[in-house]
A and B are shown apart, each in its own frame.
Chain A
Amino acid sequence: MIRDGAKPLLEVRNLRATVNGVEILKGIDFTARLGEVHAIMGPNGSGKSTFAKVLAGHPAYTVTAGEVLYDGANLLALPPEERARAGVFLAFQYPVEIPGVGNSQFLRLAYNSVQAQRGKDELDPLEFDDFVREKMKLLEMNPEFLDRSVNEGFSGGEKKRNEVLQMALLEPKLAFLDETDSGLDIDALRVVAEGINRLSSPDNATVVVTHYQRLLNYIVPDYVHVMDAGRIVKTGGKDLALMLETRGYDWIDEEARAAASA
């Protein structure tokens, strides 16, 4: 929801980043205010996932220029765990399997580390079990996923639900959802999208990174951004996604080239 005078939660200015010496992000400017829902679209390799990972603090990426302010403070100075505790959440495109670490133990440790930061009570295993089962119901998740190792042997769709479950537990202020719709059938997509919508409020901001307009039928964005070659090349309203669906990305390239040569 766009509101006049809403506070900027995330301000990204001229962000550049490399991985293994190769520049992937080439000057991103991006602002999300409280209450807003953003969609970032763009072709494969345009840097969408890198943008998400850099914001979450992935150590493989090196920021070479620019700044990122989160709640007015320098986000890039914080290690990943402190970003998480401050309310930044990344739903992974490829959630990691961790054999031997029980999912319920993992979820509880994550929940408690964020709770501790917020000065709230941590939950013991029994209390947490009741709490997490309620959250799982909303996502129509089978409680047996609590007893398995983190993401191990989960189907693609189950992994994505587990990501949104973590989001529901951690109640982030800034949620970045990286291709959360991929691997979901239409019913699962609806459930997951409803889960995300339910968490959206005037006190947080949501950014969905997606290839497909399909997701945006369920999660209606206030802004749609198009990324190409490491930059945001176009920003519009939700209609932009529909145009991309029918016309592809080429016309934006041409528009950008025309603008550059003008």
Chain B
Amino acid sequence: MTTTHPAPAAGYLESLLAGRPMLPASAHASLNALRAEAVDRVGALTVPTVRDEEWRFTDLSPLTRQTFQPVRERVVREVADAGRFDLGEAASRLVFVDGVYAPELSRITANGPVVANLATADAAQGDLAARHLGRYAVFRDNVFAALNTAFVHDGALIFVPPASAAAVPVHLLFVARTKGAASYPRCLVVAGRASAATVVEDYVSLTDGPYFTDAVTEIALAEDASIDHVRVQREGGQAFHIGSGAVSLATGSRFRSVSVALGARLSRYNLAVEQAAEGASCTVDGLAVIGGRQLADTHTSIAHRKPRGVSRQLHKCIVGGAAHAVFNGKIYVHPHAQKTDSSQSSRNLLLGDRAQVDTKPQLEIFADDVKCAHGATVGRLDADALFYLRSRGLGDAAARSLLTYAFGAEIVDRIPLPSLRRQLEATLLAQTQLP
């Protein structure tokens, strides 16, 4: 099947940038400079089309047919509504409503890492941001990272002091509440030497209307640091969500990540993990559960640049209705990365005849003494398992739902917060109830 995809209307990016004059200048000169640089870059880039290899399955024309503007007003009304997203384990919580920091909904405790809003960071925090912001999520060739950076203002800044271990997670909650809004969430996590922390990045919605989230998260781990990162995309059904994550791992550091995509009409998540030094390790797991006419696209890249790196990746998609899941997972093993130990698996469950998945695990190895494995499966519910459950009295629909749930639960179970696991398990159960 061939369809033509016209180039996005000229001026689309300009229409998005038109919201910038509403943005206050930052107190930190370096931030203003970074923004200006990003604005220039947006001017030089275009919205990708399906003719771009990296976007061949994800047609952005539904996004570019609508325009979205940032919201500047502060709102406290929805306190009760946002309460259902509360995570009991989290000590500090930063809440952003339509991208605007909501101090009334946030709580910052001394228990755990240093947490601040980027826009109101003190001088020391501003210096930290200046040193790291934009360094990992390079926007040169990434128009959505450039756009996000052009709007960088409110955002989450997390600093884990060296040798500190925070047992309590930090919850970053991004709430969409306005139809037609564009928001540019930004997170920066800097983990000092031998520190440890857990960060939850959570995108939720209080509106059924269309809106646009363009998020960027940067995570830098110093030597022997350890970060658990959970990313939950549970946007509204008409939402557009584009997120970029960039992670840099120093010697002996450890990054564990679980990303879950449940919402949005169209979502794209790019995650790039750079093992910049020896002996780093990462676990990058993902789950997309979609139905109807949703599209969820996950592109990851893990670069092993130095010896003795370890990476593990399990990505799963559950696709119902006429939904479309995309997975592209690149693993690069550079020439100096001897003794790399890497495995990657893409497993996909199609629930109906109109559901579609495109998966491409991609291994590029330029070192000769490495252990690398990858694979992909696309299938339907196991007929023997289905019969087994039915032969024990479970109805057909209940048996299908249970098996579908179990497929996704393997990833949800890897989330280190019981309260979030319970929320997502309930969502998963509801979403896997078949007609």
- With A84-B393, A109-B402, A170-B393 known as contacts, the answer to whether A100 contacts B388 (CB < 8 A) is no
Please tell me if the beta carbons of B390 and A101 are within 8 angstroms of each other in the complex.
Answer: no
Please tell me if the beta carbons of B390 and A84 are within 8 angstroms of each other in the complex.
Answer: yes
Instruction: Looking at the assembled complex, report how far the CB atom of B396 sits from the nearest CB atom of chain A, in whole angstroms.
Output: 7
Please tell me if the beta carbons of A90 and B385 are within 8 angstroms of each other in the complex.
Answer: no
Query: Which candidate, A53-61, A198-206, A210-218, is the interface stretch facing chain B?
Result: A53-61
Please tell me if the beta carbons of A99 and B387 are within 8 angstroms of each other in the complex.
Answer: no
Q: List chain A residues, Cβ under 8 A from B393.
A: 81, 84-85, 109-110, 113-114, 117, 170
Q: List chain A residues, Cβ under 8 A from B392.
A: 84, 106, 109-110, 113, 166, 170
Please tell me if the beta carbons of A100 and B407 are within 8 angstroms of each other in the complex.
Answer: yes
Interface string of A140-183 (1 = CB under 8 A from B): 00000000010000000000000000100010000000000000
- With A58-B387, A95-B388 known as contacts, the answer to whether A81 contacts B395 (CB < 8 A) is yes
Interface of B is mostly: helix
Please tell me if the beta carbons of A79 and B396 are within 8 angstroms of each other in the complex.
Answer: yes
Please tell me if the beta carbons of A81 and B394 are within 8 angstroms of each other in the complex.
Answer: yes
Distance between Cα atoms of A149 and B395 in the complex (Å): 20
Instruction: Looking at the assembled complex, report how far the CB atom of B328 sits from the nearest CB atom of chain A, in whole angstroms.
Output: 25
In the complex, the chain B residue whose C-beta lies closest to that of A58 is B387
Distance between Cα atoms of A145 and B405 in the complex (Å): 20
Interface string of A208-242 (1 = CB under 8 A from B): 00000000000000000000000000000000000
- With A101-B403, A101-B406 known as contacts, the answer to whether A81 contacts B385 (CB < 8 A) is no
Distance between Cα atoms of A92 and B392 in the complex (Å): 11
- With A59-B383, A113-B394, A113-B395 known as contacts, the answer to whether A99 contacts B410 (CB < 8 A) is yes
Instruction: Looking at the assembled complex, report how far the CB atom of B110 sits from the nearest CB atom of chain A, in whole angstroms.
Output: 38
Q: Name A106's contact: one of B389, B407, B410 (CB within 8 Å).
A: B389
In the complex, the chain B residue whose C-beta lies closest to that of A88 is B391
Instruction: Looking at the assembled complex, report how far the CB atom of B412 sits from the nearest CB atom of chain A, in whole angstroms.
Output: 10
Please tell me if the beta carbons of A80 and B406 are within 8 angstroms of each other in the complex.
Answer: no
Q: List chain B residues, Cβ under 8 A from A56.
A: 391
A77 touches B (CB below 8 Å): no
Instruction: Looking at the assembled complex, report how far the CB atom of A27 sits from the nearest CB atom of chain B, in whole angstroms.
Output: 25
Interface residues of A in 74-94 (CB under 8 A from B): 79-81, 83-85, 89-90, 92
B interface, how many residues as a size bin? 20 to 34
Q: List chain B residues, Cβ under 8 A from A96.
A: 382, 384-385, 387-388
Distance between Cα atoms of A108 and B111 in the complex (Å): 41
Distance between Cα atoms of A84 and B388 in the complex (Å): 11
Interface residues of B in 363-422 (CB under 8 A from A): 382-385, 387-396, 398-399, 402-403, 405-407, 409-410
Instruction: Looking at the assembled complex, report how far the CB atom of B24 sits from the nearest CB atom of chain A, in whole angstroms.
Output: 49
Q: List chain A residues, Cβ under 8 A from B387.
A: 57-59, 80, 96
Instruction: Looking at the assembled complex, report how far the CB atom of A258 sits from the nearest CB atom of chain B, in whole angstroms.
Output: 40
Q: List chain B residues, Cβ under 8 A from A100.
A: 405-407, 409-410
- With A59-B383, A98-B406, A109-B402 known as contacts, the answer to whether A92 contacts B394 (CB < 8 A) is no
Instruction: Looking at the assembled complex, report how far the CB atom of A166 sits from the nearest CB atom of chain B, in whole angstroms.
Output: 6
Please tell me if the beta carbons of A80 and B383 are within 8 angstroms of each other in the complex.
Answer: no
In the complex, the chain B residue whose C-beta lies closest to that of A110 is B392
Please tell me if the beta carbons of B391 and A80 are within 8 angstroms of each other in the complex.
Answer: yes
Distance between Cα atoms of A56 and B383 in the complex (Å): 14
- With A100-B407, A100-B409 known as contacts, the answer to whether A81 contacts B396 (CB < 8 A) is yes
In the complex, the chain B residue whose C-beta lies closest to that of A100 is B406
Please tell me if the beta carbons of A80 and B390 are within 8 angstroms of each other in the complex.
Answer: yes
Q: List chain B residues, Cβ under 8 A from A80.
A: 387, 390-391
Q: List chain A residues, Cβ under 8 A from B395.
A: 81, 113
Distance between Cα atoms of A57 and B392 in the complex (Å): 11
Interface string of A6-50 (1 = CB under 8 A from B): 000000000000000000000000000000000000000000000
Instruction: Looking at the assembled complex, report how far the CB atom of A164 sits from the nearest CB atom of chain B, in whole angstroms.
Output: 13
B: residues with CB less than 8 A from A are: 382-385, 387-396, 398-399, 402-403, 405-407, 409-410
Give me the 10 closest cross-chain CB pairs, A-B, nearest first. Answer: A100-B406, A113-B393, A110-B392, A84-B393, A80-B390, A96-B388, A101-B406, A81-B390, A114-B393, A96-B384
A-B contact pairs, 5 of them (CB 8 A): A80-B390, A92-B388, A92-B391, A100-B409, A114-B393
Given contacts A101-B402, A109-B393, A113-B398, 15 further A-B contacts (CB under 8 A): A57-B387, A58-B387, A59-B387, A60-B383, A81-B390, A81-B393, A81-B396, A84-B391, A84-B392, A84-B393, A92-B388, A98-B388, A110-B392, A113-B395, A117-B393
A: residues with CB less than 8 A from B are: 56-60, 79-81, 83-85, 89-90, 92, 95-96, 98-101, 106, 109-110, 113-114, 117, 149, 166, 170
